[in-house]
């Protein structure tokens, strides 16, 4: 039989068991190059695209828009033009979702968030990958958790350790945040590195997590190998106060849907599950008080309190900025103002979550940066 390959439902994040086809970006019979976007998949959090792992021709679309498939399910068939339709029929009919090997199953079972005690507080983190290279630590933004890196962490964990942290007051970490100020949250990140015995690290921070990563680099420059700031706080005073206030106050689905829509270029990308996850988190004891305290310490009066602009370009380690052109939370002008001094990557059709909206592109930027 001629060479026929399958496009299957990917697995993004630990909790993803299935996905829904939103739409095909290539038509049946159309050729594509490596890296081209093939289709959009709705995940439990947000819609993401599947890129071609190699060049080919989309000979058969098996899963139509609206179809929900388990991870590993057959989405489409790729084959050369000369492959007979009968062979493709046979391939589709005989396709079965592969069972994970015993080693893969054991690995998947073992990859779960862990708890670590730092300064008397329990903090949650997730570690993927292995290797002797300098590890990477991912630091999320205000109101998020380590799952914001569901598309990023697996990509960076190929060949090196990739860790994602729940900051104090967020996710599965303790809800005690002290003063909730930049110095305190930065100290928590430094404490995690100390507790895990990580002497040197690549830091990747999003939004508030970007300012925390930058502060850690300023405080301990010898510890940080590189710094990637995604839609980072701390690079200018302006911020969308209605997002911060709305997130702190949201308690109903409609309120949460509206405020989460501000995070992305296309609000339709925000899934119902993402909204429900945020509301479930906000109902936990201590969350409302923690978020309010952090918001007051960081964004009082609708302005950002930390201002690292003057110092960020003076850091000795490599620093890059990644931003969505249509960010409605922190202005893209903050990145543009630094474009003459630092590498700045502004991504079209992306808002405040470029690492989720344009995951493949952001993963390439980070991978090339820390690999180089």
Mean pLDDT for each consecutive 10-residue tract of the chain (372 residues)?
85 85 94 93 86 92 94 94 93 84 47 91 95 94 96 92 97 95 97 96 98 97 97 97 96 94 92 91 94 97 92 92 98 96 96 96 96 72
**Whether 137 contacts 194, CB under 8 Å:** no
* Per-residue pLDDT at 15: 76
120-165 per-position pLDDT tens digit: 999 999 999 998 889 999 999 999 999 999 999 999 998 899 999 9
Q: What is the CA radius of gyration of the chain?
A: 21
As given in the structure block, the two tokens for residue 168 are: 């104090």
As given in the structure block, the two tokens for residue 206 are: 């999003």
* Per-residue pLDDT at 107: 47
71-125 per-position pLDDT tens digit: 999 999 999 999 999 999 999 999 988 776 544 444 455 578 999 999 899 999 9
* Per-residue pLDDT at 105: 45
Strand 344-347 to strand 319-324: parallel, antiparallel, or no bridges (unpaired)?
A: parallel
Cα separation, 360 vs 15, whole angstroms? 20
pTM score above 0.75: yes
- Residue 7, phi then psi, degrees to nearest 5: -100, 120
Domains belonging to the chain, first-starting first, are 4-95 (2.40.50.100), 113-371 (3.40.50.1820)
Q: 143 in the Ramachandran plot: left (φ > 0), alpha (ψ -120 to 50) or beta?
A: left
* Per-residue pLDDT at 250: 94
Task: Please give the DSSP secondary-structure letter assigned to residue 325.
Answer: T
Residue among 20, 74, 25 nearest 360 (CA): 25
As given in the structure block, the two tokens for residue 210 are: 């970007």
Residue 98: partners with Cβ closer than 8 Å, 6 or more residues away: 72
* Per-residue pLDDT at 2: 64
Strand 121-128 to strand 114-118: parallel, antiparallel, or no bridges (unpaired)?
A: antiparallel
Cα separation, 345 vs 347, whole angstroms? 6
**Whether 73 contacts 96, CB under 8 Å:** no
* Per-residue pLDDT at 97: 83
CB-facing half-sphere around the CA of 218: CA atoms within 13 A: 20
**Whether 160 contacts 129, CB under 8 Å:** yes
Tally: H helices and E strands in the chain: 13, 16
């Amino acid at each position: 039989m001629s060479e026929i390959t399958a496009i299957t439902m990917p697995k993004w994040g630990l909790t993803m068991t299935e996905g829904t086809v939103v739409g095909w970006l290539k038509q049946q019979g159309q050729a594509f190059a490596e890296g081209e976007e093939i289709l959009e998949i709705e995940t439990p959090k947000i819609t993401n695209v599947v890129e071609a792992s190699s060049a080919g021709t989309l000979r058969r679309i098996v899963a139509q828009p609206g179809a929900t498939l388990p991870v590993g399910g057959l989405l489409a068939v790729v084959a050369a033009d000369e492959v007979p339709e009968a062979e493709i029929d046979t391939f589709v009919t005989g396709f079965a979702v592969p069972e994970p090997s015993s080693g893969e199953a054991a690995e998947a079972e073992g990859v779960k968030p862990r708890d670590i005690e730092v300064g008397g507080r329990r903090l949650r983190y997730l570690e993927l990958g292995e290797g002797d290279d300098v590890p990477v630590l991912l630091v999320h933004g205000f109101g998020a958790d380590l799952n914001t890196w569901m598309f990023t962490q697996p990509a960076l964990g190929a060949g090196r350790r990739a860790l994602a942290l729940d900051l104090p007051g967020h996710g599965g970490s303790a809800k005690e945040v002290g003063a909730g100020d930049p110095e305190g949250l930065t100290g928590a990140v430094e404490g995690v590195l100390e507790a895990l015995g990580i002497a040197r690290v690549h830091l990747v921070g999003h939004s508030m997590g970007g300012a925390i990563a930058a502060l850690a680099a300023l405080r301990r420059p010898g510890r940080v190998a590189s710094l990637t700031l995604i839609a980072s706080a701390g690079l200018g005073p302006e911020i969308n106060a209605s997002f911060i206030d709305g997130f702190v106050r949201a308690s109903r689905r409609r309120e949460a849907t509206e405020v989460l829509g501000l995070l992305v270029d296309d609000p339709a990308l925000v899934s119902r599950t993402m909204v429900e996850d945020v509301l479930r988190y906000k109902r936990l004891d201590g969350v409302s008080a923690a978020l309010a305290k952090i918001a007051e310490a960081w964004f009082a009066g609708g302005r950002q309190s930390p201002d690292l602009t003057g110092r960020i370009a003076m850091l000795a380690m490599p620093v890059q900025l990644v931003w969505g052109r249509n960010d409605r939370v922190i202005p893209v002008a903050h990145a543009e103002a630094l474009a003459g001094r630092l590498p700045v990557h502004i991504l079209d059709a992306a808002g405040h979550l470029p690492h989720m909206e344009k995951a493949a592109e952001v993963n390439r930027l980070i991978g090339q940066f820390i690999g180089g």
